[in-house]
Structure 1
């Protein structure tokens, strides 16, 4: 099921938003706006990147998805994009592109991402250019176009379908000898293991038109790898079950959801931690409504809100904030990065319930203009109860 999950990227599957060419134009126009300003500020001639065609930064700049080694340039003197790929170049695509830029006449500085391959930088230098680094493409990717938001929403709906499918399985589960059990396809009662629940989530994700991409996890803190003893051990009704899904849509954009469910919760600390974590999301969205804020500020606000419900320094609380797009975790991601209007970010909060379990929730939100509350992309309720999640 996951072995073929790259075949639909930007071709071969039903559209999940604007056409691939329209989406590519949106991305290139956004990148060109950022690059043109950066080139002027830095008194540079062009921007060049090189790498494998599937690398997100390469794909972001290309009209169609290239394969193999690829070099892409934005010529600031002509406002033009140039692409060279291995199947259309006699030598290295970066060498071909460097020669093309040199033949055009402009001299001076070429800007590249900090992680551009060393050989590509040497080809540019050998062609007579000075090379300097820029984070311009990372900045361009940190805010999403309308088409990109549509593609992320598709993946997020698939993630929601997967989580809801897991909630349905849990809601229908029986308790046998203190463990959860379900009926298999033959009408027999079998233990409900993390492996069975993960398969159910993946099937729902595929049914919703996306790919699990090998990212689905049940109790990721304790079940780190499939087919381990923990993966095959039946789940308990009185313990929290963490469900994490990070599917990829057919155009290559990711979603990301985490929910924690308990079949037979007795309340107590578990309920208090749940209220604290869910309230932290409301607080962070209010913070982002007031204007742009840094990744560090939003993460600190999430953690502070959780701790305000009586969790002290000895309690483990973890809050992470990052962008979502062509990668499941991308900019804005560093603590000092500003979360600007147009950013799509994943808010992920976890807190310890007891020595053996944690409660964790993650959502994806679209940051809109100042004064407007960020939109939460398709997601099930934050309920602890599987049945309650399905009702909302």
Structure 2
């Protein structure tokens, strides 16, 4: 894990290494607040219109949008902030060109590969342009980033506890669950969870996924479904904090248990235990070994894995940070590194019966791992 004090130095070193690898003189990124790599490079949470970040000759410059200069001064982790009034309100691309020319006599510049063709075509009038897919080491979280992620995970746990308590308090009328005199649906439960997240100071970001019965098999279900007795209720809560970092937490509950549900739950719980055991050696563990460990246990329990319609048809986990899904993937050949924050989330699904998934948020360490989740795994809901 990279220390908090060296966050900017680490980014600076990563950019310098990439410039050397591409024989480039400056790095340029142009995007808006929805671009997670730009936010990582700047720590600026500015508006939904383009602005520019330039690095050259050992200095980094944020060309802040109009009216966002003070915010940029507070948030930017680099060296220099320039605002519109200093550069006559010109476009972000023109401002980037002017800044590059002030920093260095650049002939060749480096950009992220996902920058728009429109931006690249303008820059090509003045420079030779090359692109890179690097993330500049953002997958390895600093101690400060860990703190941010943990705080959001805590908020997710509050939301989960509220949902679990609601399920524990329900009454069965015919075969549907009712709470406070009204039928409980996935949409009603989602609103309750999101209200708790808002009170905790985080955004649900449209990522509160709640399925019941058959809709549990839809990995991103945000529709409205009645919740019935004996059906699994799968809650996947993935809010985003004010600093831009996500968390990710999944639990499955049921009011009235049948044989399939108990069998599926035991298989998923055991698979998660096996996946975590595969992380015991920490840094240097092959990412796909975690997925393979979970898959082997699910297979032993009689559930298929892979390109299937019944069983587990997703990977065991992914990185979490400024993006909800980022590197590393636990299906890849990548070696895990200290500071990687990943989900461990095996699941099994049957479109005719329901679905079960259990998900914790994990940080890889040099010698093992730390679980950033502090929420019980239980199938029968209770008030906490």
**Residue in structure 1 matched with residue 378 of structure 2 by the alignment:** 383
Contact 1:295 1:322 in 2 (8 A): no
* Candidates 314, 330, 344, aligned match of 1:347: 344
Deviation of the 1:217 alpha carbon: 2.2
Distance in 2 (CA, whole Å) between partners of 1:272 and 1:358 is 11
Distance in 2 (CA, whole Å) between partners of 1:46 and 1:36 is 9
* Candidates 137, 153, 168, aligned match of 2:150: 153
Distance in 2 (CA, whole Å) between partners of 1:296 and 1:122 is 39
Deviation of the 1:243 alpha carbon: 0.9
* Candidates 260, 267, 271, aligned match of 1:269: 260
* Candidates 190, 196, 207, aligned match of 1:198: 190
**Residue in structure 2 matched with residue 132 of structure 1 by the alignment:** 130
Distance in 2 (CA, whole Å) between partners of 1:355 and 1:54 is 38
**Residue in structure 1 matched with residue 323 of structure 2 by the alignment:** 327
**Residue in structure 2 matched with residue 82 of structure 1 by the alignment:** 61
Q: Which moved more, 1:105-114 or 1:240-249?
A: 105-114
SS of the residue aligned with 2:55? strand
TM-score, normalised via structure 2 length: 0.83
Q: 1:309 to 1:116 in 2, by over 3 A?
A: same
Deviation per CA, 1:145-170: give whole Å up to 9, x if none. 11111111111111111111111111
Deviation of the 1:200 alpha carbon: 1.7
Deviation of the 1:232 alpha carbon: 5.2
Structure 2: where are the runs of 5+ without partners?
A: 67-83
- Tell me whether 1:34 sits opposite 2:14 in the alignment: yes
SS of the residue aligned with 2:321? coil
SS of the residue aligned with 2:137? helix
Deviation of the 1:246 alpha carbon: 0.9
Contact 2:362 2:373 in 1 (8 A): no
Q: How many residues align?
A: 351
Q: 1:32 to 1:307 in 2, by over 3 A?
A: same
| CA-based RMSD | 2.5
Alignment of 1:355-370 (within 5 A): 355-369=352-366
**Residue in structure 2 matched with residue 97 of structure 1 by the alignment:** 96
Contact 1:253 1:325 in 2 (8 A): yes
Deviation of the 1:272 alpha carbon: 2.3
Contact 1:254 1:325 in 2 (8 A): yes
Deviation of the 1:241 alpha carbon: 0.7
Deviation of the 1:174 alpha carbon: 1.2
Alignment of 1:1-392 (within 5 A): 27-67=7-47, 68-75=49-56, 77=57, 79-87=58-66, 88=84, 89=87, 90-127=89-126, 129-136=127-134, 138-183=135-180, 189-219=181-211, 222=215, 231=224, 233=226, 235-266=227-258, 268-290=259-281, 291-312=283-304, 315-320=310-315, 321-333=317-329, 335-353=332-350, 355-369=352-366, 371-372=367-368, 374-387=369-382, 390=383
Deviation of the 1:253 alpha carbon: 1.2
